[in-house]
Amino acid sequence: MLVFGDGRIVGTVGGGCYEHDAIGVAKQVLASRKPRTVKYDLNDDFAEATGLVCGGQMEVFIEPIEASPAVYIFGAGHVGFYLARLAQDAGFGVHVIDDRAAFANAERFPAAASIVVDDIPQWLARTTIPPAAYAVIVTRGHRNDLDVLREIAPRDLRYIGLIGSRAKVARLYDAVTAEGAITPEQLERIHAPIGLDIGAVTPQEIAVSITAELIAVRRGKADTLKAASLQWMPTLKALR
């Protein structure tokens, strides 16, 4: 049975109140992107009261299915270059945006769905990005990251990631908060420092950590991984 985000339904898991409940759970799964298994006990009394023609037990596995998600990479430098390769191999549709034609071109990004050479803040000001999209901010410098952050942070996107150390991220957050255009709640949705903490140092390694985080968000595992990281942090510090 397919349950679409707009309410359309194709197929059935048996009808009745249990199917109605399963449809409700399916809508929750679409929002959370986390698969779930629900179990129903079709006891005789309830079956008779609700008009069901069978009893027993029913188990329904509900899994989110989506088309190839789009990731917008703001910055076509070293990290953006390797990230585009990995993200494309992982099933993401890659869009590259940079103001330097020497970096943002088809020769460096042959598999990209689109390549934009433009002033990034100006391009963002006139461009709508789908809510299901992923945005990665990896420009060539703090000033450029700040310009992109101003435009991206207020948008309700599936994922927003910002590269940089914790100190750099804190400075950027202080700057946009002082301007009053972005709320603390909006900043809380941003993944920063970007990527899973695997000790990445080189551009290739950083791209791996970012791609891993994109996959985790796509598969509904990001919160679990973050909680596990926080849980083990005291132990890791003790081992050091």
Please give the model's pTM, rounded to 2 decimal places. 0.76
For the stretch 42-93, pLDDT in tens is 765 555 555 555 667 889 999 888 778 999 999 999 999 999 999 999 999 9
Q: Which of 205, 190, 224, 236 is nearest to 83 (CA)?
A: 205
The CB-side HSE value for 239 (13 A sphere, CA atoms) comes to 5
Question: Which helix (H) or strand (E) covers residue 58, if one does?
Answer: strand 56-62
176 in Cβ contact with 146 (< 8 Å)? yes
Instruction: For residue range 124-165, list pLDDT tens digits in order.
Output: 999 999 988 999 999 999 899 999 999 999 999 999 999 999
Chain position carrying tokens 């940089």: 164
Instruction: Please tell me the predicted confidence (pLDDT) of residue 74.
Output: 98
Q: Which two tokens stand for residue 169?
A: 């991220």
Pairing of strands 93-98, 70-74: parallel
pLDDT classification of 237: cutoffs 50, 70, 90: very low
Q: What is the pLDDT of residue 145?
A: 94
pLDDT tens sequence across 187-204:
999 999 999 999 999 999
| Domains of the chain by start residue, with CATH | 2-62 (no CATH), 70-222 (3.40.50.720)
Q: How far apart, in whole angstroms, are the C-alpha atoms of residue 156 and residue 14?
A: 36
